Amino acid sequence: MKRKIINIDENKCNGCGQCVPDCPEGALQIIDGKARLVSDLFCDGLGACIGSCPQGAVTVLEREAEPYDEKKVMDNIVKQGGPVIIAHLEHLVNHGETVLYNQAVEYMEENNINIPKHEGIKSQMHIHEQHACPGSAIFSFDKEKKSANQSNENATTIDSELRQWPVQLKLLNPAAPYFNNSDLLMVSDCVPFAYADFHRDFLRNKVVVMFCPKLDPYIDEYIEKMTAILSNHKINSITVVKMEVPCCGGINHVLEEALRRSGKKIPLRNYTITVEGKVA
């Protein structure tokens, strides 16, 4: 996928190593007298190391790179002790990286690691919202899976079957943990409005990815994101639900290209909804 990542100009780098301590993620090392980016997975592209370079050899550029993996970064950071953990968390806070911060906290909680006090912390799920889009913060609702024979048909109220947030592909983080071992639902924006029983018939027990293949100007980015999701997680099945209008065919194009790039073969089901709200 294409994202921001550190670039080092070897002609300017004198190997002083001042950038290395400012990269607690462990992405930089001095090798053969030059600073080197040793792992795309460890570089968040936020540029904490830039100001440390007296030669101006470190910059940020946008290029094809492996998706940044906060959990793998934390494997490295926790070994370095409390001060490095604090530096990393405050680094994420100061850049408004709510999603990555939450992943770091989740990692420490899962591994029974005490979270040290650090500047800027407000809560596990909301930090410095004024600097980041609140709608992109990861939530997993962990609802108890309902049995296949359970039905809301005769209920006076219908419970939501949504299991995660966000749902729009533009806001989704390909590294979100709720993709692990999931059944994926790819749906065009109009479907939930047209099909009355969308939650019961399609959304139940699935992780949803929603976008408009006609109006969203991010199709190349969407293909890259879907490729990352399919490549980095075990996806048990994919269900595609689109409208009957011709422009909705783009949702299959995104998925087919992502499957091709990922090399994955995943069970796939396709449904088409008419403008009258019926399954075609």
The mean predicted confidence, pLDDT, of the chain is: 84
* Between 141 and 75, the higher pLDDT residue: 75
Half-sphere exposure of 2 (CA within 13 A, CB side): 9
Considering only residues 1 and 209, tell me which one the structure prediction assigns the higher pLDDT. 209
pLDDT tens digits along 237-272: 999 999 999 889 899 999 999 999 999 999 999 999
First to last CA, the chain: 35
Q: Is pLDDT above 50 for 210?
A: yes
- The average pLDDT across 71-90 equals 86
CA–CA separation, 36 and 264 (whole Å) = 32
Instruction: Tell me the residue ranges of DSSP E strands in the chain.
Output: 2-8, 28-31, 34-37, 58-64, 139-140, 164-165, 182-188, 207-211, 235-243, 268-273
Q: How far is 208 from 153, CA to CA, in rounded Å?
A: 22
pTM (2 d.p.): 0.54
pLDDT in tens, 9-54: 999 999 999 998 888 788 898 988 999 998 888 898 888 888 789 9
All structural domains of the chain, each given as residue ranges with its CATH number in brackets, are: 2-64 (3.30.70.20), 70-136 (no CATH), 139-273 (3.40.50)
Q: How confident is the model at residue 232 (pLDDT cuts 50, 70, 90)?
A: confident
More confident residue, 123 or 34: 34
The token pair at 238 is: 């994919």
Q: Return d(Cα 204, Cα 185) in angstroms, integer.
A: 10
